[in-house]
Structure 1
C-alpha cells in the first residue's frame, strides 16, 4: 500500500531541490520542453522577472508521497494579464461591464512563455491520471481558499488539454506558426517546396546578410557555457535596445534572468549571433529540447534589410534541418511567417471559472470560438497552403 498523496503549495520553486523537480520530466524531456525545468523557473523568480513586484506570486502545486516529490505544476496568482499570453483581456472587460470581478486568477503556466509543454509534471512510474486529478483538485481548492476567480492552464500539451477538458474545464484553442521538418536533407530541399517566384524571393532574403558583410551562426554548448555571463549581458543589452524602440515594448525579463539561466542550463539554450566586421550587431535567444528549437527573444543595434528574418527564422530553420530536429517554434504571432514556410499549429489551454455567472457565458463563447478556429484551419489547409505537397518519395511535387 502506497502512502497517500499530500499537496503542498510553494512560494518559490527554490523550495524544492532542482534534481527532485527535474526528475518529474526526465522521462519525457521532449514533451515537457525546456521551460518547466527548475533552472528556468528559478531564474525567472530569483532574478525578480516573475515576482510579486512584477505581478507574479508563485503558488506552485506539489504532490508528495512521504518525502518524495511525485508530481507538480508551476502556478502563479495574478491580478492582471500582461505577459502571460492568456489573451483574456476581453473576458476581463466583459466581467467588469457585468459588475463581476475577473481577477485575481490562478495560472498553471510559465511566465512570459507562450510555448506548448507539460503543465502537470508527473514522475515516471506514477500513474498520471490520479496525479493530474489531484493537482487539478489542488488548484481548485487553492483558488477557493485564496479567492482566485478562475484557474487557467496555458499552452498545455495536446493529451493534457484533452484530459483537462474531460475533467470539466473549458477548452480553448489558438494558432501559432511553426516550421515543421518533413525530413529535409538540405535547406534547398525545403525551398524547393515553394513556387518559383516565392522561392527566388526567399533566396534573396537569405542572401542579404552576406551582401551586407554580416555573418550569422549559432553559439551553443561548451562555447556558450564558457562565456555565459558575457553572452547574458550582450543578449540583455540587445533585447533592451529593440524593446525600447517599440511603443508597446515590454521588458519581461531582466539582466539577472539571462545571467542565471545561461549559467544554470546552457546546454538547453542557444544564441544566434550576427556579426559585421567582428562586432555583434544582432542576436536571438533560443531554447532547445531533444526535438525542437524555440525562439524567445531578439535584439539588434543596427538595422539591415532582412536581418530579423535571418537571425530569428531562417538560420534556426537551417539548424533544424542540419541537426534533424522536428520543428522550430518562432514565438507567438507573426502572419509574416506563413509566406516563409511556417504553418498554423494549434495551441491549447483549459479554463475553470469559479463564478457561475462567468462560467456559463464564457463556456458558450469558447465553444463557438473553438468551432470557428477549427473551421478556419481546415479552410486554410484546403485553400491556402504556401508549400507544395510532398510526394510519396519525400520530395515536393512539381519541383
Structure 2
C-alpha cells in the first residue's frame, strides 16, 4: 500500500516504447485508482511518460536478446525494487520483461503477478531455439497468477501448446492491450488542404493511389512478400505509391539485401523510417497492407480502421479478429506473395468500392475504443485484488 492509501501497481516492459506508445493514456487513467509505477530500460522516453501521465518511472536495463549475465543483473535489480516497493500487483508486458519481471515478483513475494501476451516470437522459431523458447515461456507463465493473451488466437495457441493452466488465462474484452484512441485517430482532423500539402512534400501526385505499410522492417512482418507483390503490381499499374513507415532491425530479424535494395531505390516506394505521428500518412492512403507472419493484436490495423481505411492483412492472430472480410478489409494467407498480389490488384481494379470509410471506422469504435479497454482492465484489477491468489509458482 502506498503512502496515500492507494494500492500499488508496477507495470514492466522491456523497452520504453511499449510504455510510452503502446500503453499511452492507460497510466493516467489508472492513476485515478492506484499508485502506478512504470519500469523499463533506461532512456529519455521514461521522462516523457512521467511528465505526460503523471506517474513515477524507474529505469532497469533489460535486453530483448538472450544475454545471461545482463539478464541475471536485471533480475536482481527487479527483485530488489519489488521487495522495497511491496506492490500488490506487478503487471508485465513483452517477452523478456515477462520472464524477468514475473520471476523477480515471485521471489519478492508479490501476491498478484499479471502478464499480458501481445505476440509470441517463438511462433516462427524452430529446432533447438523453439525448444528453449517454449521452456522460457512455461517458466514465465508458471510464475504468473494471471495471464492475458491480447487476442483470442493467442489464447487458443497457449492452450494448445500446454504452456499453462487454463484457469490463469483470460482475454480482456474483444482483445488488444490498449485499444485505440478514436478521438486522436479521426479522419475528420485532416482537411483536403492538409492532404494536398503532405502529398506535395512527398512528391506524390494528386491522382496517385497511395498504399501504406506501418511496422518494423523485418522478415516476420512479411516485408519480402509485400515488396515482391508491390513491385510486380507497379509494372501493371502506373499511378500507385507505397509508403513504408518503420525502422530496420538488422540485428534481430534482417531482410534480404535484394529487398532492402528495392526499398531504398524503387521509384514508387517512399521509405520514411520511423514515423512519430502516422495519422497524416494514413489520411492520404486508401489501403493499408499488413502481411505479417505473427502478431498479438496489431495496433496499426486498428488505427487504420479508425481512420476509415481498409486493410489487407494475413490470416493470423489479431488480424483475423480485427478484420471482417468484405466489411473493413481482406484476409490473405501468410507467406503467400501470389495471394497478396491478387488481393491488392482486385482492390485496385474495383473491390475498393466494397468498403466505406464509415463502416471501417464504426467497426473499430464499437469493439476497440480504448476507454472500453481501460474500464475492463480496471474491473479486472479490482477482481484480482479482491481474490486470494496463491503466491506459489
Q: How high is the TM-score relative to the length of structure 1? A: 0.29
More helix by share: 2
Q: How high is the TM-score relative to the length of structure 2? A: 0.30
